[in-house]
Structure 1
């Protein structure tokens, strides 16, 4: 009998892993250390740099919350909400300054990946 590669459990781990590693950990660290790219984006969007420091801390805390065991579902749900706000506001910020379609849509694609993680979390 063949095992399904794209079952809900694997989909959960794939999507959650992408969010945790790319957005939560790497994105959080980049925001905290404020690379040149973060400085340019901050100036372009009109946000103060200290905003990205706090955002980076919350991304890392959110990544940690997403990998906690099931008994910490309240923390996980808060992390899902926080990441959702982050991606929606990122998209709207890029839209508000007239950025390209790709820059407006990319955070919404990440939001869709987050939604898949959320929908499949109880099936994992």
Structure 2
């Protein structure tokens, strides 16, 4: 029997991995460390820097929640919801200040990736 490289489990792992590693862990740490990019974004968007510290903590906690076993379904649901709100508000924030189409669209692409992960979480 041939193994399939592109199957539901691999797609779930890929989409969840993107959210956990890129958005949850990497972006969370960057928000907490308040790199120059975060400082610039804070100034452009009009958010105080302490907002990004808390956002970074929640991103890391959300990443941890997404890799918990299935018996923690309610915690995972909160994490999925939190990431969805983050992406929607990020996109709207960029839209509200007239940012480029790329900055508006990027969080929505992550929202689609998150949605795929969410829809596949019980299917593999």
Match of 1:99 in 2: 99
Q: Counterpart of 1:123 in 2: which secondary structure?
A: coil
The separation in 1 between residues aligned to 2:120 and 2:4, in whole angstroms, is 15
Per-residue deviation at 1:14? 0.5
TM-score under structure 2 normalisation?
0.98
Moved over 3 A (4+): none
Per-residue deviation at 1:6? 1.5
- The 5-angstrom pairing of residues 24-43 of structure 1 reads 24-43=24-43
1:74 aligns with 2:111: no
Per-residue deviation at 1:2? 2.0
The separation in 2 between residues aligned to 1:111 and 1:2, in whole angstroms, is 33
Q: Which sections of structure 2, spanning at least 5 residues, go unmatched? A: none
- The 5-angstrom pairing of residues 41-80 of structure 1 reads 41-80=41-80
TM-score under structure 1 normalisation?
0.98
Match of 1:22 in 2: 22
More off after superposition, 2-11 vs 65-74:
2-11
Root-mean-square deviation (CA, aligned residues, Å) is 0.6
Q: Which sections of structure 1, spanning at least 5 residues, go unmatched? A: none
Question: What count of residue pairs does the alignment treat as equivalent?
Answer: 124
Q: Counterpart of 1:117 in 2: which secondary structure?
A: helix
The separation in 1 between residues aligned to 2:99 and 2:115, in whole angstroms, is 24
Q: Counterpart of 2:121 in 1: which secondary structure?
A: helix
